Amino acid sequence: MTEKTQTVLITGASTGLGAVYADRFARRGHPLVLVARDATRMEALATRLRAEYGVDVEVLPADLTQEKDLAAVAERLETDARITILVNNAGMSLPGTFTTQTPAEMDRLFAVNLSAVVRLARAVAPRMANAGKGSIINVSSVVGLAPEFGMTLYGATKAFVLFLSQGLSVELGPQGVYVQAVLPAATRTEIWARSGKDVNTMSGVMDADELVDAALVGFDRQEAVTIPPLHDESMWAQHQQTRQAMLPEFAQEHAAPRYITLNQ
Ligand code: NAP
């Protein structure tokens, strides 16, 4: 468990997983800074959380695709020493497929799912590393492990977030900063309707409350990667072992025999 005085900044806190994260951290006694575009929804959530849990909740409206707004949130993370937990949760998906998605839609996806995640982590990391404490939670997705799901660009952004988190764990872990990647599978939130899909036609969909509660168990365990729907956790451990076993094999002066042609 974290100290109650630590302020938590949560992006995408107006609804879905972010709103549940807000509820759970407020229940644990943490002051909050809520970030998303919809100020009205965040004010309503803030009012409830203040009344229910007696914590300070600030609403910081921002469109993370807009440089000015992103810079304001980043500056807040850089300068406000009370914020020691960042939940990089805001995210979006796109309707359609790679050949129907427009360059403008792709840019928006990258702005929210990639650029904002990196910029905000970068804004807070030096301060956390200097203090020797702090936590960054990055919400990725199992889609980032599954090109087979056919959500190519969205999955690629989530694979990036997983890699980013694992890399930051390696870089910042020894300096006392905890980085967690959370990989939900299909979870009942507005992200599906927002990207033109009907979640009610799908099976195996988790509720947002259960997803976040499970992710916070992983947080309390200080897991580097938390996959709430994966029942057999040895599968992830094996996947990591297989990947890591390849690493020393990459340093070779010569190509593998299968790539050596007779006329070489
Ligand atoms: P959601 O219900 O659609 O909520 C997304 C949140 O992100 C909202 O609070 C939204 O707020 C905010 N947001 C979107 N665009 C934004 C922008 N330009 N600037 C600032 N905030 C923005 O989705 P969710 O399912 O809770 O998603 C949360 C995270 O979980 C995402 O990273 C998503 O990729 C990931 N995830 C979800 C699922 C799932 O099945 N639900 C599965 C795997 C991973 P405003 O509209 O008010 O800005």
Per-residue pLDDT tens over the stretch 205-233? 999 999 999 999 999 999 999 999 999 99
What pLDDT is stored for residue 5 in this prediction?
Answer: 80
Give 17 Cα–ligand 1 centroid separation in angstroms.
Answer: 7
Q: Are strands 32-36 and 7-11 parallel, antiparallel or unpaired?
A: parallel
What pLDDT is stored for residue 227 in this prediction?
Answer: 98
Per residue in 164-183, pLDDT (tens digit) is 999 999 999 999 999 999 99
State yes or no: pLDDT of 1 exceeds 90: no
Catalytic residue (one of 53, 154, 178, 259):
154
- Tell me whether residue 259 is in a domain: no
**Residue 48 is part of a domain; what is its CATH number?**
3.40.50.720
What pLDDT is stored for residue 264 in this prediction?
Answer: 67
Give 10 Cα–ligand 1 centroid separation in angstroms.
Answer: 11
**Torsion angle of C-alpha atoms 187, 196, 69, 142, degrees rounded to 10:** 40
- Tell me whether residue 95 is in a domain: yes
Backbone angles phi, psi at 30, to 5 degrees: -85, 135
Ligand 1 atom showing the smallest separation from residue 186 Cα:
40
Ligand 1 and 89: CB distance under 6 A: yes
DSSP class of residue 115 equals I
What pLDDT is stored for residue 262 in this prediction?
Answer: 78
What pLDDT is stored for residue 2 in this prediction?
Answer: 58
- Tell me whether residue 140 is in a domain: yes
Q: What DSSP element (H or E) covers 29?
A: none
SS (H, E, C) 138-184: EECCHHHHCHHHCCHHHHHHHHHHHHHHHHHHHHHHHHCCEEEEECC
Per residue in 126-154, pLDDT (tens digit) is 999 999 999 999 999 999 999 999 999 99
Ligand 1 atom showing the smallest separation from residue 37 Cα:
48
Verify whether residue 53 is a known catalytic residue: no
- Tell me whether residue 114 is in a domain: yes
> Can you read off the two tokens belonging to residue 39?
């100020």
**Which structural domain range is residue 208 located in?**
7-233
> Can you read off the two tokens belonging to residue 208?
């947002």
Ligand 1 and 64: CB distance under 6 A: yes
In this structure, which residue's CA is closest to atom 12 in ligand 1? 12
In this structure, which residue's CA is closest to atom 4 in ligand 1? 16
- Tell me what the pLDDT averaged over the chain comes to: 97
- Tell me whether residue 131 is in a domain: yes
Ligand 1 and 186: CB distance under 6 A: yes
- Tell me whether residue 244 is in a domain: no
In this structure, which residue's CA is closest to atom 31 in ligand 1? 91
The domain total for the chain is 1
Distance CA 41, CA 223 (A): 31
- Tell me whether residue 2 is in a domain: no
- Which of 161, 191, 199, 207 has most ligand 1 atoms within 8 Å of its beta carbon, as the pocket-test mutant? 191
What pLDDT is stored for residue 112 in this prediction?
Answer: 98
Per residue in 23-33, pLDDT (tens digit) is 999 999 999 99
Q: What DSSP element (H or E) covers 139?
A: strand 135-139
Per residue in 31-65, pLDDT (tens digit) is 999 999 999 999 999 999 999 999 999 999 999 99
The structure's pTM equals 0.97
What pLDDT is stored for residue 95 in this prediction?
Answer: 95
> Can you read off the two tokens belonging to residue 33?
């800074």
- Tell me whether residue 49 is in a domain: yes
Give 178 Cα–ligand 1 centroid separation in angstroms.
Answer: 22
